Chains A and B, each alone.
Chain A
Amino acid sequence: MSRISRLLLVASIVLLGGCRSEQTVVTELHFWAMGREGEMVQRLIPEFEAAHPDIRVRVQQIPWSAAHEKLLTAHVGETMPDVFQVGNTWLAEFVALDAVLRLDDWMSRPDAPPAGDFFAGILEGNRIGATLYGLPWYVDTRVLFYRKDLLARAGIVTPPRSWPEFVSAMRRAIATPESCQNGLLLPINEWQGPIVFGLQQGATFLRDGDRYGDFESPAFRRAFDFHGSLYAENLAPALGATQVSNVYQAFASGQFCFFLSGPWNIGEMGRRLPPAVQAHWDVMPLPAPEGSGWPGTSLAGGASLAIHRDSPNKEAAWALVSWLSRSDISLRFFELTGDLPPRIGAWEQGRLAERPRMAAFREQLERVRPVPRIPEWERIAYLVGRYTELAVRGALSRDAALAALDADVDRVLEKRRWLLEREAATR
């Protein structure tokens, strides 16, 4: 074949292809989702594609352990997907990378989910400054799992609503033979404990526009003292997270009455606890520092869906994201995964609160607050865990631990301060 005829052939193929694709322009949408969510969401996609014949969704399932690095390297390599699942604590980082589309304009469109239908604390976790960057996909928070039967043996039939009630319930249970050996399982190196108590005391953790650490504030100090007293009074065993090899076994054998954990353990407990224990555990919202404040504030967590800022398929991406956040779809997703829907409408439509052990989550989700949304937060949270461990183990006094924590956090935030100053100077 001569060169000219070959060229003609190629040109005609291109032209013909062009003609055909003009009739039905199919947008291919790349969607990265993690772990089990990435697996289960694929069952919902055919329905979305049936409703949107012009969109084809390619779901890429990514293991959680590699997700953060994959997203970052994709960003550097300019191969970001159109839509990606993003853990709440990562959102600020990808916003700092300028990788996330602002959703405020999209939220004012008629096809958008009503912002007021989301749990307020959860939606707040997707705002940085005043700008919305992610649409909540499913929610996560911390509640108390507890043993009804063991507490009843100690004469406690109503779940404690305040810190003093909580402490006295644990004391009584430990003092009662045939009840629990310990009050609460709260690994000493996990940041969630002190941070949740801090949220309840109104601590902000950072100050001056998230420029400096504020862990020596009276509010966090109260939370930290309460946390420390749990170990000092032997209400909680001073164990690290890796030391508890089988939480379910320990919970079943009555090694502790209370256990701070999240929604995923509803399913896990159902699967892993022996049948004899199944009727005897329940879930309660967190006690507040004072009974009048019940339920006490907990963490606003979970995962959101974000659209890549440079995605060429923003319309299609928005269609997918808003479809997945629909109440009926999030209910189906809940049935598939056990992930809690972020919209109040979904809870009412599915009567989720009437299901066993779900009422506590419904009550708790009304009282959730997000942690500071800055890229450095994960590092700060890690430091909180580390200094908490040192304080509980007695390697540092509580004062020294908080002072050192603030000093470390200030150092971590140095670049942030510099950037903010530079930004202010150019304005």
Chain B
Amino acid sequence: MRFHGPSAGVLFLAPALSLILVFFALPVLAAFALSFTDFDIYAIGDAGTLRFIGLGNYQRLLADPLFWISLKNTAFFVFIGGPLSVALSLSAALLLHSRLTRWPNVFRTVFFLPVVTTLVAVAVVWRYLYQPEQGLLNRALSFFGVPPVDWLGDPAWAMPAIILMAVWKNFGFNMVIFLAGLQAIPERLYESARIDGANAHQQFWRVTLPMLAPTFLLVTVMTLIGYFQLFAEPYVMTQGGPANATLSVVLLMYQEGFRWWNIGYAASIAFVLFLIILAGTLLQLAISRGNGGAARPSARVSVRREEADA
């Protein structure tokens, strides 16, 4: 008997697809439509007060100083915090991967602990650390004669303080991914490099990094996407203050949407952020493709050569 109608594959996918459709695609489409209206508290009460305003929200957004402040803050967080976080993750992974490190499993667990800890709990503890008078950090600094820093109260220091905490909280995740990447590099590559007379530096730049390129791409793309969506850290620790120094794009979107109920305007912020992240990701992919064309084949060639030797 022949089965007519949708194929078995479609049938099996149907539950997941319908969930995605109902809980993701439709809301996204609705939000996209809302971003062209002034949907607000009045419209919740009486849909008749809803006005279609075309690109009005987007125009207003581009003229909104708060949006530019939040974009600047978010960019600062992404471009300072992101590389810092990736560099720290890579260093930690290299240390753990090195044979000189004792008890690597213990350290791996310890470094990963902040990742699985609730952010709110972490933020509360870090608020104590950052406390200007009794905080541990300032006490430690005063030991070296550094005058107290008002970490979360001074507009100049609040974002660096948030970055420090976020990097500490998140680096363990990327570290584990890097570790996996490092462990996948065949030992024989290092062996042949050593035979060719490469020192540790050269081994790192010529073998480790090129072989880590796919991992690197994954980590940087994920970090970029994650860091652009900065929200919980400033939400819990500073509420975007002091003087908007830690106001991120997502926090602005949250405030507009769920504090002031300017849902239409908040939706337009969401789509602009989406476009920014999309552009950033595409740019990264393009760069890595440009680099990868030069870097990866050489590694592959050396593998092949080795295999041929064997």
Residues of A within 8 A of B (CB): 69, 72, 75-76, 93, 96-99, 189, 239-240, 242-243, 245, 375, 378-379, 386, 389-390, 393, 395, 415, 418-419
Q: Give the chain A neighbours of B260 by CB distance below 8 A.
A: 378-379
Of A76, A98, A239, the contact of B153 (CB 8 Å cutoff): A239
Q: Give the chain A neighbours of B38 by CB distance below 8 A.
A: 415
Q: Tell me the smallest distance from the CB of A413 to a CB of chain B, in Å.
A: 12
Of A96, A239, A245, the contact of B41 (CB 8 Å cutoff): A96
* Contact yes or no, B153 A69, CB < 8 A: no
Q: Which of A240, A389, A418 has the most CB of B within 10 A?
A: A240
* Contact yes or no, B242 A242, CB < 8 A: yes
Among the 9-residue stretches B44-52, B189-197, B220-228, B283-291, the one with 4 or more Cβ atoms under 8 Å from chain A is B44-52
New A-B pairs, 12, CB < 8 Å, besides A240-B242, A242-B241, A375-B42: A75-B44, A93-B41, A99-B45, A242-B242, A243-B132, A243-B152, A378-B259, A378-B260, A395-B243, A415-B38, A415-B40, A415-B42
Chain B 239-256 against A: per-residue CB contact (8 Å), 1 yes, 0 no?
101111000000000000
Flag whether B271 is at the interface (Cβ < 8 A): no
Alpha-carbon distance A303/B243, docked complex (angstroms): 30
A242-B153, A243-B152 known; A389+B41 contact, CB < 8 A: no
A240-B153, A243-B132, A379-B260 known; A97+B44 contact, CB < 8 A: yes
Alpha-carbon distance A214/B153, docked complex (angstroms): 30
Q: Tell me the smallest distance from the CB of B158 to a CB of chain A, in Å.
A: 10
Q: Give the chain A neighbours of B155 by CB distance below 8 A.
A: 393
Alpha-carbon distance A340/B241, docked complex (angstroms): 32
User: Across the two chains, which residue of chain A brings its CB closest to B150?
Assistant: A243
Chain B 98-129 against A: per-residue CB contact (8 Å), 1 yes, 0 no?
00000000000000000000000000000100
How many residues from B make CB contacts under 8 Å with A? 26
Alpha-carbon distance A245/B152, docked complex (angstroms): 11
Alpha-carbon distance A242/B131, docked complex (angstroms): 10
Q: Give the chain B neighbours of A240 by CB distance below 8 A.
A: 153, 241-242
* Contact yes or no, A72 B44, CB < 8 A: yes
Q: Give the chain A neighbours of B49 by CB distance below 8 A.
A: 415, 419
* Contact yes or no, B243 A389, CB < 8 A: yes
Alpha-carbon distance A419/B50, docked complex (angstroms): 11
24 pairs, A vs B, C-beta closer than 8 Å: A93-B41, A96-B41, A96-B42, A98-B45, A98-B46, A99-B45, A189-B241, A239-B153, A240-B153, A240-B242, A242-B152, A242-B238, A242-B241, A242-B242, A243-B150, A243-B153, A245-B127, A375-B42, A378-B260, A379-B260, A389-B241, A389-B243, A415-B49, A419-B49
Alpha-carbon distance A389/B259, docked complex (angstroms): 20
A69-B258, A96-B41 known; A242+B150 contact, CB < 8 A: no
Q: Give the chain A neighbours of B32 by CB distance below 8 A.
A: none
* Contact yes or no, A390 B153, CB < 8 A: no
Alpha-carbon distance A386/B259, docked complex (angstroms): 15
Interface residues of B in 68-120 (CB under 8 A from A): none
Alpha-carbon distance A24/B51, docked complex (angstroms): 50
Chain B 36-63 against A: per-residue CB contact (8 Å), 1 yes, 0 no?
0010111011100101000000000000
